[in-house]
Amino acid sequence: MMSRHPGVGRDPATLKKKEITGAVCMFKKILIANRGEIACRVAATARRLGIRTVAVYSQADAQSQHVAMCDESVLIGPAPAKESYLRIDRIIAAARDTGTEAIHPGYGFLSENEEFAAACETNGMVFIGPPASAIRAMGSKSAAKALMEQANVPLVPGYHGERQEADFLREQADAIGYPVLLKASAGGGGKGMRIVERSEDFAAALASCQREAINSFGDDRVLVEKYLQRPRHIEIQVFADTQGNCVYLFERDCSVQRRHQKVLEEAPAPGMTEERRQAMGEAAVNAARAVDYVGAGTVEFIANQDGSFYFMEMNTRLQVEHPVTELITGTDLVEWQLRVAAGEPLPMQQQDLRIDGHAIEARIYAENPEKGFLPSTGSLLHLRLPDAVAFAHGEVRIDAAVRQGDAITPHYDPMIAKLIVHGDDRAQALARMRQSLQAMEIVGPATNVAFLERLITTPAFTDAELDTGLIERHHALLFPPTEPVPVETVALWLAKLAMPDTTSHDPWDSPQGWRLNGNYHRQLRFDCDDQAFEVVLDYRRDGWRMAYQSQETILTRIAIDQTSVSLSIEGRRISGRVVRVDDRFHVFWQGQHRILSWSDPMAHAGEHESEGGRLTAPMPGKIVQLMVAEGASVEKGTPLLIMEAMKMEHTISAPAKGKVEALNYAVGDQVAEGAQLLSFTPEAS
C-alpha cells in the first residue's frame, strides 16, 4: 500500500538520469531481510530501479503484503522473530538459494547486528548498510561516547567509562548533579532508563536499571548522564559513500514521545537557525567520519531549549522516520542506500541539498492510549487509509503494509501505518495531517488515531513548544473526559440498524425496514464508552422523530451503500460510515470514531417468559420460518421459529423443556410488537 514513491514528482529530471545509470551498474536482485511497511518501502524503490526482490517471511506472514510485493519469497521459519527474522543462517541460505547479490536489512531485526553484516560479507553478498566495524563502534552507547569525545562531538555531562561499582557510579552522579539519567550501555527502545532525583535513590535505581539491562540485552553495564530538563530530541540524517563523501540531510525533530519512544517526527525542526543547523550537521558528519561510516545513518542529539546540543547515539541504519527527510529534500533514501552499496558516489553533494517546505510523520499504532499505550492486536476488520481519498499532488504519503483483513499479531511491532504529510510550511502540513487522520477508519484493534488528532491540535504542539515531556505535561488536554455521543452519530447508527445494506433509492418509502405497522414507536438503548444512552424513535408522516438527550430531531431520506450512510437531519444532509461487528456498531462521522454497543433484545427473547406459557414478539417483524410442528415436545433451547426484524433474523427458542401447544402465525405473516407467537406449556418440574 505504498501510495507514493518518495522523490517521484519532486525532481523527475534527476531521478530519470540516475535510473539510466543505475540500470548499468546497480544490483540485479536484492533480498529484503525484514517485514511490514519497511520491506514494502524497500521493494517499491527496488522495483522502480528495475531490481528484482526476494522477500523472506515467517509462517505468520505467508499472506502478507511484503511477500506479495516481491518477485520471489522464501519461508524462513515460524512466527517468533527469534526463529525467523532473526535467523542469520536461514536468511543467508535464502539469499544464496535465490542468487541474491545484496541484502537490505530494513530497521529493527538484524539491521544493527554486526554479526549479520559480517556474515553477508563472508558469503559474498553486499550488506546494504555500514561496515560491521561501524556497527560495532556505535553498538555500545558508552564506547560510542568515548569515540565521540575524541572526535570533538559534544556530549551530555556524564560518566561512560568502564568502572561499574555502585559506589563509584553514585559518586559520579553526585558530581554531575541531580537529576541524572541511568542508561543501559547496550540499550535501545528506552529500556533500562531510570531517572534518579536524589543521591539516596541512586542505589535502588541502579539495581533496577541493571536488572532490566541484563534481561533485555544480556549486558548489565550502564552509563550515567545529566538529566536535561525539557529537552528536545533532534537527530541528523547523514549519508556517506565509499569514496569518502559524507553529507547531512538536515534534521528531524522527534521530541514528541511517549515512554521515550517517538510518536510524531518532523523536519525541519521548528525554530532551528541556519548556524545551529550547520553546527549540528557538521557534528553529525564528524561522528560518522570517526567510525568510517558508509550508507545511511542517524546521529541523535539531545538539545536544550537554549539550543545547546549533545550527542546521544548513532543509529546505523535507515530510521522509521526517514520519510520526512525525503519529503523535504526530494530524495529517495533507499535509492541512495542501493547506489552507495553498489559502489556509486552519493547522488548529491552538501551544497546541492535544500530544504523544501515542512513534513510531519505520525505513527499509527494498534495500541490503547487510554490504557497507557498498551499494544492492541486483532484483525483489521475495516480499514480505510487516507490514500483512498483523493489528495492532490502527493502531499500525503502512507507507508503501510496492511490490507483490510490482515491481522496485527503479538509477534511483531504493532505499527499499522505511517502517515507522512508535506506542506509549504508547518501550518499547512499540520492541516493536511489533521485532514488525513480524520479520513482514517480502522475497525479491529484499538488505535491511537483519535489521540494523534488531539495531539496535533494541542496548542503546545501547534505553537511548536516542543520537548520530550509534551505528552505528559498536557495529559489532561490529551485525555479529555469522553464526550456525549453526537446526535448525528446516533442517527447514522439508527439508519444502519433499520435499513437493509444495499438499498438504492428511498427506503423511507419502502414497506421494509421499520415501517411495519404504519405507527411505529420504539425505545432503544445503547452503550458507548461505558455509558448507557436511550433513544426513542417514532414514525410520523414527515419522517422519523428521534428523541435523544432531551432533544427532538426529524430524520428523513437516507441512502445506504454497504457501509456508507447518508441522511437528512432537520433538513441538513450528513454522511458517515457505519461498520457493524456483532453487537458493536463503529460509527465514523467527521473524524470521530464512536463504538455503539447494542444488544439485540430479540437475542434474549423468551428467556423470561416461560411462566405464562406465552412467547411474544418483543418488536415488530415477520415470521420467516417455523421450526417445529404444533404438539411437539421440545427441550429447553430448541429453536422454535425464526422471525425477521430490523433486517436481521432472530431465533425464538424454547424457554424450558415443554410442549408447543399452538402456532399462531404462518410463514410470511407480519407480527406486531407484543403479539403472542405461540402457546407453550413448560413441563412441570
Task: List residues with catalytic annotation.
Answer: 317
| Closest distance to ligand ADP from the beta carbon of 417 (Å) | 22
Closer to ligand ADP by Cβ: residue 78 or 189: 189
Closer to ligand ADP by Cβ: residue 226 or 277: 226
| Closest distance to ligand ADP from the beta carbon of 422 (Å) | 24
From residue 640 to residue 669, the character string flagging contacts with ligand ADP as x (rule: CB under 6 A) and all else as - is: ------------------------------
Of 70-99, which residues contact ligand ADP (CB under 6 A)?
none
Q: Is 277 in the site for ligand ADP (CB under 6 A)?
A: no
Closer to ligand ADP by Cβ: residue 232 or 411: 232
Q: Is 453 in the site for ligand ADP (CB under 6 A)?
A: no
Collapsing DSSP to helix, strand or coil, 276 comes out as helix
One residue of 210, 257, 325, 563 binding ligand ADP per CB under 6 A? 257
d(CA 663, CA 639): 13
Closer to ligand ADP by Cβ: residue 365 or 544: 365
Closer to ligand ADP by Cβ: residue 472 or 635: 472
d(CA 644, CA 651): 9
Q: 636 forms bridges with which residues in the sheet?
A: none
Helix boundaries (H) for 302-369: 322-329, 333-341
Identity of the amino acid at 392: A
In our burial notation (b when 16+ CB lie closer than 10 A, e otherwise), range 444-466 reads bbbbbbbbbbbbbebebbeeebb
CA distances from 161 to 145, 288, 328 (A): 9, 21, 39
| Closest distance to ligand ADP from the beta carbon of 313 (Å) | 5
Which cell numbers in the block locate residue 618?
418483543
DSSP symbol at 155: B
Site stretch for ligand ADP (CB under 6 A), options 130-138, 181-189, 280-288, 526-534: 181-189
The DSSP annotation for 372-396 comes to TTEE--EE-SEEE-GGGS--GGG-E
Site stretch for ligand ADP (CB under 6 A), options 179-187, 327-335, 414-422, 529-537: 179-187
How many angstroms from the chain centroid is the CA of residue 337?
26
One residue of 154, 188, 307, 357 binding ligand ADP per CB under 6 A? 188
Number of residues this chain uses to bind ligand ADP (CB under 6 A)? 21
Q: Is 153 in the site for ligand ADP (CB under 6 A)?
A: no
Site stretch for ligand ADP (CB under 6 A), options 70-78, 180-188, 498-506, 615-623: 180-188
The DSSP annotation for 609-662 comes to -TTTTEEE-SS-EEEEEE-S-TT-EE-TT-EEEEEEETTEEEEEE-SSSEEEEE
Of 215-254, which residues contact ligand ADP (CB under 6 A)?
225-228, 231, 233
Of 481-540, which residues contact ligand ADP (CB under 6 A)?
none
Q: Estimate the crossing angle of helix 12-25 against helix 333-341, to 10 degrees.
A: 30
| Closest distance to ligand ADP from the beta carbon of 597 (Å) | 39
Q: Is 189 in the site for ligand ADP (CB under 6 A)?
A: yes
User: Is the C-alpha dihedral spanning 181, 187, 190, 192 positive or negative?
Assistant: negative
Closest CA to 217 of 247, 170, 253, 183: 183
| Closest distance to ligand ADP from the beta carbon of 158 (Å) | 7
Site stretch for ligand ADP (CB under 6 A), options 184-192, 362-370, 440-448, 664-672: 184-192
One residue of 187, 297, 513, 618 binding ligand ADP per CB under 6 A? 187
Q: Is 181 in the site for ligand ADP (CB under 6 A)?
A: yes
| Closest distance to ligand ADP from the beta carbon of 233 (Å) | 4
- Express the helix, strand and coil content of the chain in percent, nearest 5 each: 30, 30, 40
Q: Which residues make Cβ contacts (< 8 Å) with residue 363, sequence separation at least 6? A: 262, 263, 264, 320, 415, 418, 448
Closer to ligand ADP by Cβ: residue 52 or 160: 160
Q: Is 111 in the site for ligand ADP (CB under 6 A)?
A: no
Helix boundaries (H) for 160-268: 166-176, 202-217
Of 190-219, which residues contact ligand ADP (CB under 6 A)?
190-191
Half-sphere exposure of 66 (CA within 13 A, CB side): 26
Closer to ligand ADP by Cβ: residue 101 or 413: 413
Q: 585 forms bridges with which residues in the sheet?
A: 580, 596
Q: Is 154 in the site for ligand ADP (CB under 6 A)?
A: no
Closest CA to 557 of 610, 624, 499, 619: 499
Q: 360 forms bridges with which residues in the sheet?
A: 266, 421
Identity of the amino acid at 293: Y
Q: Is 354 in the site for ligand ADP (CB under 6 A)?
A: no
Closer to ligand ADP by Cβ: residue 29 or 474: 474
Site stretch for ligand ADP (CB under 6 A), options 38-46, 84-92, 187-195, 532-540: 187-195
Q: Is 112 in the site for ligand ADP (CB under 6 A)?
A: no
Closer to ligand ADP by Cβ: residue 186 or 587: 186
Q: Is 272 in the site for ligand ADP (CB under 6 A)?
A: no
User: Is the C-alpha dihedral spanning 583, 412, 92, 105 positive or negative?
Assistant: positive
Identity of the amino acid at 486: P
| Closest distance to ligand ADP from the beta carbon of 432 (Å) | 26
From residue 567 to residue 596, the character string flagging contacts with ligand ADP as x (rule: CB under 6 A) and all else as - is: ------------------------------
Closer to ligand ADP by Cβ: residue 191 or 614: 191
Closer to ligand ADP by Cβ: residue 228 or 417: 228
Of 289-328, which residues contact ligand ADP (CB under 6 A)?
300, 302, 312-313
CA distances from 186 to 82, 183, 206, 221, 318 (A): 19, 9, 15, 7, 19
d(CA 156, CA 17): 44
| Closest distance to ligand ADP from the beta carbon of 111 (Å) | 14
Which secondary structure element, helix H or strand E, spans residue 498, and what is its range? helix 487-498
Q: Is 260 in the site for ligand ADP (CB under 6 A)?
A: yes
- Decide the pairing of beta strands 564-569 and 572-581: antiparallel
Residues contributing to the site for ligand ADP (CB under 6 A) = 156, 181, 183, 187-191, 225-228, 231, 233, 257, 260, 300, 302, 312-313, 468
